[in-house]
């Protein structure tokens, strides 16, 4: 239940200022270290993980995690997509991985700078050439044992089951003979936590004007295969079964 509206909106506003402030501070440190040639990819990963954990705490996110995560180099991490906090949740556990994101994120000044510093592959979803280029970059990175994190629905979903998974990244994993590590993520209150077709700030205030936001997360064991389509369908089935289990919490 949301707090009384005025207090809830004030809480969300304070959280927003803290999120932007801490992001700007750490990005500034990263840029200075890069200028002094003291930065490297490992440090960028560490700063990103630290900030993601801190951001979740600021936003009042309470995580219920199950399963053990395989952190081997060269994994393809795939999960369902509910809201903008999903990358924060995933990267608070997955330290050494490059993210894949929609091209629109490149127009978000601070987020874009942080993403570039920590490693990002952009894809223009409606553009087939861009999707092919992203798939090629994913495969090239997997072949040199760089892990990749992607949300293969391509956008957030607010239905009980996921949208169909796009198979490009799974084909890259199959072609490079690398494992896929699925994870399932579900929000605690669909009426406030699901991201419907509203303004970004409207969605933010709706979700984070309450004291706590519950998020359920499960990591599966790695799966392997020689068919990208088969891997995509297998991961999609595993994730849908788990989020149906998580949705039992809605009744409580």
Q: Is the pLDDT of residue 40 over 80?
A: yes
Domain residues for the domain of 162 are 5-251
Between residues 120 and 200, the one the model is more confident about: 120
Any idea which residue has 């330290």 for tokens?
Answer: 95
CB 31 within 8 A of CB 219: no
Q: Is the pLDDT of residue 1 over 70?
A: no
Helix (H), strand (E) at residue 76: strand 76-79
How many structural domains are present in the chain? 1
The per-residue pLDDT for 121 is 84
Q: Report the share of the chain in percent with pLDDT over 90.
A: 61
Window from 126-130, 185-189, 214-218 with minimum mean pLDDT: 126-130
Between residues 2 and 7, the one the model is more confident about: 7
CB 187 within 8 A of CB 173: no
Q: What number is the average pLDDT over the span 97-108?
A: 83
The mean pLDDT of the chain is 90
The per-residue pLDDT for 111 is 81
Encode pLDDT of 149-175 as tens digits: 999 998 888 889 999 999 999 999 999
Question: What is the gyration radius of the CA atoms in the chain, in angstroms?
Answer: 18
Q: Is the pLDDT of residue 3 over 60?
A: no
Any idea which residue has 């081997």 for tokens?
Answer: 72
Q: Give Cα separations from 140 to 121, 204, 231 (angstroms).
A: 12, 36, 19
Distance CA 124, CA 181 (A): 24
The per-residue pLDDT for 244 is 96
Encode pLDDT of 56-72 as tens digits: 999 999 999 999 999 99
The per-residue pLDDT for 114 is 82
Q: What number is the average pLDDT over the span 241-247?
A: 96
Q: CB-based burial of residue 50 (10 Å sphere; 0-12 exposed, 13-18 middle, 19+ buried)?
A: middle
The per-residue pLDDT for 174 is 96
The per-residue pLDDT for 197 is 62
Q: Report the share of the chain in percent with pLDDT over 70.
A: 97
Q: Give Cα separations from 204 to 72, 144, 228, 237 (angstroms).
A: 34, 38, 35, 29
CB 59 within 8 A of CB 19: yes
Between residues 41 and 128, the one the model is more confident about: 41
Encode pLDDT of 188-238 as tens digits: 998 888 877 667 788 888 889 999 999 999 999 999 999 999 999 999 999
Q: What number is the average pLDDT over the span 62-86?
A: 94
Q: What is the CATH number of the domain that holds 113?
A: 3.40.1130
């Amino acid at each position: 239940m949301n707090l009384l509206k005025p207090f809830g909106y004030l809480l969300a506003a304070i959280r927003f200022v803290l999120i932007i402030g801490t992001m700007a501070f750490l990005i500034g440190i990263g840029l200075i270290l890069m200028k002094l040639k003291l930065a490297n990819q490992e440090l960028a990963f560490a700063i990103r993980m630290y900030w993601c954990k801190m951001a979740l705490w600021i936003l009042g996110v309470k995580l219920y995690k199950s399963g053990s995560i395989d952190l081997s180099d060269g994994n393809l991490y795939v999960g369902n997509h509910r809201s903008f906090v999903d990358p924060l949740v995933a990267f608070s556990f997955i330290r050494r991985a490059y993210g894949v994101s929609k091209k629109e994120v490149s127009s978000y000044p601070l987020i874009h700078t942080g993403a570039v510093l920590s490693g990002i592959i952009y894809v223009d979803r409606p553009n087939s050439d861009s999707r092919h280029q992203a798939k090629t970059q994913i495969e090239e990175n997997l072949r040199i044992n760089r892990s990749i994190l992607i949300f293969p629905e391509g956008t957030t979903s607010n239905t009980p089951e996921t949208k169909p998974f796009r198979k490009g990244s799974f084909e890259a994993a199959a072609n490079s003979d690398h494992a896929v590590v699925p994870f399932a993520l579900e929000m605690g209150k669909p009426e406030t936590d699901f991201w419907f077709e509203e303004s970004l700030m409207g969605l933010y205030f709706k979700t984070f004007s309450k004291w706590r936001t519950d998020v359920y997360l499960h990591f599966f064991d790695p799966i392997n295969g020689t068919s990208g389509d088969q891997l995509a369908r297998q991961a999609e089935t595993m994730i849908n079964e788990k989020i149906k289990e998580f949705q039992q919490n809605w009744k409580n």
